[in-house]
Amino acid sequence: MTNLKPLIHWFEHLTPDTLDQLPQFYAADAEFKDPFNEVRGVESIQHIFRHMFSQVAEPLFVVGSSFSGDDGVMLLWNFHFRNRAPLPQKAMTARGATHLRFDAAGRIVLHRDYWDAAEELYAKLPLIGCVMRGLQRMGRA
């Protein structure tokens, strides 16, 4: 099994400058999927992370737990960030999990993020959040 400590350290200290290290952790044809994206290849994955840095301020992943099994590894994380202007620069946290599969060389071949965009992102934004919270209340009634 792959040593997760360097990978988790990289995720938790991710900056625009450290994105060049992505090929050390990902296979050239790795797949990435989250609620907004589905891409293949190191350059496409780097683009997603670059886009994240352009969309939010002070992004920080904190991995709380990791679990390994026959089908790879699960990382449970909190993603801390602030809105970019012109929205209020409110500190926010999204909670989620990442499923990783590795090749024989220990590089990631599958990165699949699981998180609820409606609850963890949209419901916390001004205007859209008001609508989303109302829809959530209607769904529970």
How far is Cα 34 from Cα 38, in angstroms, rounded to an integer?
Answer: 7
Distance CA 1, CA 65 (A): 16
Is residue 30 within a helix (H) or strand (E), and if so which, with residue range? Answer: strand 26-33
Query: In the chain, what are the domains?
Result: 4-115 (3.10.450.50)
**What tokens does 139 get?**
């769904």
Residue 89 has a pLDDT of: 73
Residue 70: per-residue pLDDT: 87
Residue 88 Cα distances to 10, 27, 54, 57, 92, angstroms: 29, 38, 16, 11, 11
Residue 115 has a pLDDT of 86
**pLDDT at position 130, please?**
46
Q: What is the pLDDT of residue 140?
A: 63
Q: What is the pLDDT of residue 90?
A: 80
H helix or E strand, kind and range, residue 138 = helix 128-140
Query: Which two three-digit tokens encode residue 80?
Result: 């801390």
Strands (E), 24-138: 26-33, 38-40, 56-69, 72-83, 91-102, 108-114
User: What are the residue ranges in the chain where pLDDT is below 70?
Assistant: 1-2, 86-88, 118-141
